[in-house]
Amino acid sequence: MKRASLVFRRSTFAIYLLLYPLPWLARGIPPWGGIAFITGVIVFLSLPLLPGKLSPAIEIRAFAYAAIGAALIPFQGYWGVFFISAAATCGAITRRPRSLTLLGAILAAYILIAWAVREEVIGGLITLIVAVGTFVTMRLSMDLHRQNEALSAAQNEIRALTLIAERERFARDLHDTLGHSLTLIALKSELAQRHLPHAPEMADKEIAEIGLKARQALAETRLAVTAMRVTGLAQELSAGVDALTKAGIRTEISGESELMPARSEGVLAMALRESLTNILRHAKAASCQIRFQNPPSGPAQLEVSDYHARDSASENVLSFREGNGISGIRARLAEIDGTLSILHRPDGTTLVITLGDAS
């Protein structure tokens, strides 16, 4: 791919070499002039394409282009175009002092040769100006190319680090989900086994709680696994409602997720996922309400509320806790001028996400 790109660039440079035979339109083609010009063009195009150790350094190529121009002086063409190409090649040298030194040497050689062959002053000045201009243009182009490569490398590193962070987050979530749930199931299994001979009704209660906790753990695990592949807000909503339903939590939805600002869909999807995971993990919720609001005037909002069962409303269970998940949502919202607030009620908790101004 790089070699094909190089061939294309050299072919583009070759177009400018067509300026060389323009004086022939007025003077006629000198003997052997056409053959000499074609030979010079072939050498010009071949130098950067030589393989491996045969490929000359860029400094040598610059001198070679100037030498081709000097060799074609007897054939009465515009030989200065090869010095212009040599100046452009100097601009591709990475080290600026070496680049400027080589440019100065080539331009000095051009001035001496032009004086020796009695080149027209106006034509010589135009060649010098164009040569310096192509040098500056090439220099800026190479600097931009290097900056783009550095930016691309940084983006690749960021993507790799993001992937690692996401994997670590998933591992933590899965550990928290299964670790807590399986520990509780193991403890209640031991209690049920102890109660079974003397208090069967207590054993039945423990077994019922084991079943409930197992279903909640399964729902949490499904939601965590789904989070690895679901990115859209509508898909996240569907997966979350399904997980809540399987955990025995009734869900009510108001508003339409499709009407929320598209620019904030990723943040809203992450916030919805985290809030529903918190409800499954921490709350003793009997129901959940999800509300989407995007009025014509004013900021768009996402509200997620859980409502505790009557027998647990007095236990002050917090479904939304300040932790890595909530902190991550706050950080993502801050990037788009959004805010997150948590409202605690006697019968549950409400998480309110307010998006910044779309303008």
Provide the residue ranges of all domains of the chain, joining segments of one domain with +: 2-119, 144-229, 232-359
CB distance 324 to 277 below 8 Å: no
Alpha helices in the chain (DSSP H): 2-17, 24-27, 33-46, 58-71, 80-90, 96-116, 121-198, 200-227, 233-246, 265-282, 324-335
Where on the phi/psi map is residue 81: left (φ > 0), alpha (ψ -120 to 50), or beta?
Answer: alpha
pLDDT of 359: 44
Report mean pLDDT in 10-residue bins for the chain, 359 residues.
54 74 86 89 83 81 91 90 90 88 93 90 91 90 86 86 76 68 78 82 83 77 63 82 84 88 83 83 80 88 86 52 68 84 88 77
pLDDT of 1: 46
pLDDT of 126: 92
Q: 22 by DSSP, 3-state: which?
A: coil
Out of 3.30.565.10, 3.40.50.1780, 3.60.21.10, 3.30.70.980, the CATH code matching 232-359 is: 3.30.565.10
CA-nearest of 285, 226, 224, 215 to 252 is 285
CB distance 75 to 109 below 8 Å: no
pLDDT of 107: 93
CA-nearest of 204, 178, 177 to 191 is 204
Architecture of domain 144-229: Up-down Bundle (1.20)
> Which pTM was predicted?
0.48
